[in-house]
Amino acid sequence: MQKSPSRRKFGNSRNLEFTRQRKFSRPSVIGNVVSKAQDQATNIKSRLLIVWGLLIAAGLGLAFNLYQLQIVRGAKLTEKARNQQMVNVRPFMPRRPVVDRNNNMLAVDRPVFTLYAHPKLFDKSNEEMAGQLAPMLGKDAAELLKIFQSKKSGIILNPAVSEDIGDRLISLRLNGLELIQKYSRFYPQADLVSDVVGYVNLDRRGQAGVEYSQEKLLERSGQTVRLSRAGNGALMPDHAPEGFLHFDDLQLQMTIDSRLQRAARSALKQQIEKFGAKRGGVIVMDAVDGSILALVSQPTYNPNEYSKADISLFKNWTVADLYEPGSTFKPLNVAIALENEIIKPDDVFNDPGTIAVADRIIKNAEKHSYRQINIAQILQQSSNVGMVQIIQRLKPSVYYNWLERLGLGQKVDTDLPFEVTGQIKSQEEFISSPIEPATTSFGQGFSLTPLQLVQMHGALANGGKLVTPHVVRGLIDNKGQMHYLPTLPAPRQIFTSSTTQKVVEMMETVVTEGSGKASKIPGYRIAGKTGTAQKASPNGGYIVGARITSFVAILPVESPRYVVLALVDEPKGENAYGSTVAAPIVKAVMEALISIEQIPPSQEIKPVPNSPSP
């Protein structure tokens, strides 16, 4: 059956309707798409605005910070940066050398090396290294091998290798060795002048002698400078101020004469060994100005090896220890008596050998009795009884004042360190007790340093002036020009020149006719005085059998200038006296002094009478 057309139309109309319906819905979809695109564009624009806003804000912030850094804080930050690149440097300044009066070197800084070994870096066996190094270092190869086996690195083989040895080690090009350069204090005269010069420790600080007392003069004042540092840490020399590494050529010059020092030490050592003594000392002073030409203490130490020495040796006992001078003080008492006009040079005293003072009996040495004896003979024979009688003519208060004028109970104020103050009884005790002036008359009951006794005898030699003993002459350059002179106290007039000349001439008879004959030198007039004093005990009283022998001399009598003192502590033997132990030392020292200073022989003179005036 054939389908009717109307039915087909109906069917097509539905499709057509559907199709139309779809066609009519497209504008709505497109609108949505457009709307979304517009929204996206708006979002992008907003985001761009935000980004640009952030960028602008960041730029403004950066600009503000740059303004703060460059303009507001620029100067401070520049200075801070410069400080971070700069470093404070104080260049090493060698310690000033020490020379004697003739510019002979006594102490000097020299470059040395600390030698380290790092066995783990050796390119040879430990045995080979030990065998190669042992002769150069002065050590046993077996000892070095043991050291190498004890540690793998950081071994100090020698803290002070000389420059020559250091150069030899460098030339060997041995792996595992390290040399660190430093400066070390060197004393070319070894122990010759250690009593005066002293030494410095590992920190380069003086510990004794002038190395200690003259620290400020010996230390060069290095200036602290600021240098820039490169990126690798190296200092930039182009920023160094001109001349910052320059140091002066000044040297500390001493009054000591090394030639005389050597002669004094030799003579002293000989007598100490001969008599088995505990110790000894020698001092030579120019009485005109107080310059010490020689100052020797024995035993002594080598300042190059100070760590091996007994610490008691670091203090020079002629300055740092007290003793009772005994008969060497008698000439000073004679000078006091002459100044006070209680005696005349030709006065005669009766010396029966003993004298009673209060409840004590004072005797002469060896209980000698001299009967009629004049002032010169009292010194010649070292009469204790005669000296007591002289001082008994003087009021104790006046006598005490004179002792204070001489400086007893005071320091000499020398430029050497560790000086001690002498001891004397209080004025009240001295005046109230008759035994005190009596014992003081022959050098007991008080104490002083050997240096102070030399100072006092210097007043007899120079016409009565008390000068200050000193060992520092000043700072001198390589051309001999003096740049610094120490300020010394002005000399104090104690005695008149007429008094001192009389005493010196009396002391001359001690050498020509008395106990000082062992110091005689043909052709030269020498004044002197022996001393054999009991040794005081720290606990009071005196040490049984112990004595200090001494001899002090003045040269030449016709024009007194030099004072020489020799002391020997606790010599052994029955014949150990000032005349036998100390006088020969002084003679040897004076012979050297005459040769060095070219002292002409004395003129012929009439001998001093040995008998008392009628």
The model's pLDDT over 427-484, given as tens digits with 9 standing for 90+, comes to: 999 999 999 999 999 999 999 999 999 999 999 999 999 999 999 999 999 998 999 9
612 — pLDDT class (breaks 50, 70, 90):
very low
Q: Which pLDDT score, from 0 to 100, does residue 87 have?
A: 66
Q: Minimum mean pLDDT among 174-178, 465-469, 557-561: which range?
A: 174-178
279: enclosing H helix or E strand: strand 279-286
Does residue 38 or residue 562 have the better pLDDT? 562
Q: Which pLDDT score, from 0 to 100, does residue 246 have?
A: 60
Pairing of strands 98-99, 251-254: parallel
- Averaged confidence pLDDT in the chain: 87
Q: What are phi and psi of 83, to 5 degrees?
A: -65, -35
Q: What are phi and psi of 436, to 5 degrees?
A: -65, -55
Highest mean pLDDT among 70-74, 349-353, 500-504: 500-504
Q: Which pLDDT score, from 0 to 100, does residue 50 have?
A: 87
Q: Which pLDDT score, from 0 to 100, does residue 198 have?
A: 96
137 — pLDDT class (breaks 50, 70, 90):
confident
Mean pLDDT over 8-22 rounds to 46
89 — pLDDT class (breaks 50, 70, 90):
low
Q: Which pLDDT score, from 0 to 100, does residue 323 have?
A: 95
Q: Which pLDDT score, from 0 to 100, does residue 596 have?
A: 97
Task: Dihedral sign for Cα 591, 597, 598, 600, please.
Answer: negative
Q: Minimum mean pLDDT among 114-118, 290-294, 429-433, 589-593: which range?
A: 114-118
Rg for the chain, CA atoms, rounded? 47
Query: Over 60: is that where the pLDDT of 511 sits?
Result: yes
| Cβ pair 118, 154 in contact under 8 A | yes
Does residue 57 or residue 600 have the better pLDDT? 600
Lookup: tokens for 186: 């060197």
Query: Over 70: is that where the pLDDT of 582 sits?
Result: yes
Q: Minimum mean pLDDT among 37-46, 141-150, 570-579, 599-608: which range?
A: 599-608
Q: Minimum mean pLDDT among 161-175, 290-304, 372-386, 541-555: which range?
A: 161-175
- Where are the chain's structural domains? 98-219+233-254, 259-301+318-481+488-597
Catalytic (active site) residue 297: no
> What SS3 state is found at 457?
helix
229 — pLDDT class (breaks 50, 70, 90):
low
Q: At what angle do helices 126-137 and 141-150 cross, to 10 degrees?
A: 130
Query: Over 80: is that where the pLDDT of 63 sits?
Result: yes
Architecture category of domain 259-301+318-481+488-597 in CATH: 3-Layer(aba) Sandwich (3.40)
Topology given in CATH for the domain delimited by 98-219+233-254: Penicillin-binding protein 2a (Domain 2) (3.90.1310)
Mean pLDDT over 508-533 rounds to 96
Cα 101 off chain centre by: 18
Does residue 183 or residue 278 have the better pLDDT? 278
| Cβ pair 283, 450 in contact under 8 A | yes
| Cβ pair 186, 154 in contact under 8 A | no
267: enclosing H helix or E strand: helix 258-275
182 — pLDDT class (breaks 50, 70, 90):
confident
**184, 194, 213, 327: which one is catalytic?**
327
Question: Whole-angstrom Cα distance, residue 454 to residue 441?
Answer: 18
Predicted TM-score (pTM) of the model is 0.80
Does residue 219 or residue 402 have the better pLDDT? 402
β-strand partners of 360: 357
Q: Which pLDDT score, from 0 to 100, does residue 390 have?
A: 97
CA distances from 48 to 34, 35, 36, 41, 62 (A): 21, 20, 18, 10, 20
Question: Whole-angstrom Cα distance, residue 339 to residue 464?
Answer: 11
Can you point out the beta strands (E) in 173-262? 177-186, 225-228, 251-254
Q: Which pLDDT score, from 0 to 100, does residue 45 have?
A: 81
102 — pLDDT class (breaks 50, 70, 90):
very high
Does residue 612 or residue 265 have the better pLDDT? 265
Query: Over 80: is that where the pLDDT of 90 sits?
Result: no
- Buried/exposed code over 587-607 (b: 16+ C-beta within 10 A; e: otherwise): bbbbebbbeeeebeebeeeee
| Cβ pair 157, 176 in contact under 8 A | no
DSSP code per residue over 113-176: EEEEE-GGG-SS-HHHHHHHHHHHHT--HHHHHHHHHH-SS-EEEEEEE-HHHHHHHHHHT-TT
Q: Which pLDDT score, from 0 to 100, does residue 166 have?
A: 87
Nearest-5° Cα angle at 12, 7 to 15:
140
Residue 448 contacts by C-beta under 8 Å, 6 or more apart in sequence? 322, 323, 325, 408, 422
Cα 422 off chain centre by: 23
Does residue 80 or residue 589 have the better pLDDT? 589
Q: Fill in the DSSP letter of residue 70.
A: I
Q: Which pLDDT score, from 0 to 100, does residue 598 have?
A: 96
Query: Over 50: is that where the pLDDT of 14 sits?
Result: no
Question: Whole-angstrom Cα distance, residue 378 to residue 491?
Answer: 30
| Cβ pair 271, 280 in contact under 8 A | yes
User: Which amino acid makes up residue 13?
Assistant: S
Residue the block writes with tokens 């033997």: 573
Q: Minimum mean pLDDT among 10-14, 301-305, 421-425, 450-454: which range?
A: 10-14
Mean pLDDT over 321-332 rounds to 96
- In 3D space, the residue among 407, 397, 399, 384 whose CA is nearest the CA of residue 340 turns out to be 399
Query: Over 60: is that where the pLDDT of 26 sits?
Result: no
CB atoms near residue 393 (< 10 Å):
13
| Cβ pair 154, 86 in contact under 8 A | no
Does residue 243 or residue 365 have the better pLDDT? 365
Q: Which pLDDT score, from 0 to 100, does residue 588 have?
A: 98
Does residue 164 or residue 4 have the better pLDDT? 164
- Buried/exposed code over 2-32 (b: 16+ C-beta within 10 A; e: otherwise): eeeeeeeeeeeeeeeeeeeeeeeeeeeeeee
Q: Which pLDDT score, from 0 to 100, does residue 138 have?
A: 85
Can you point out the beta strands (E) in 451-576? 465-466, 472-476, 482-484, 492-493, 527-536, 542-555, 562-569
11 — pLDDT class (breaks 50, 70, 90):
very low
Question: Whole-angstrom Cα distance, residue 101 to residue 258?
Answer: 8
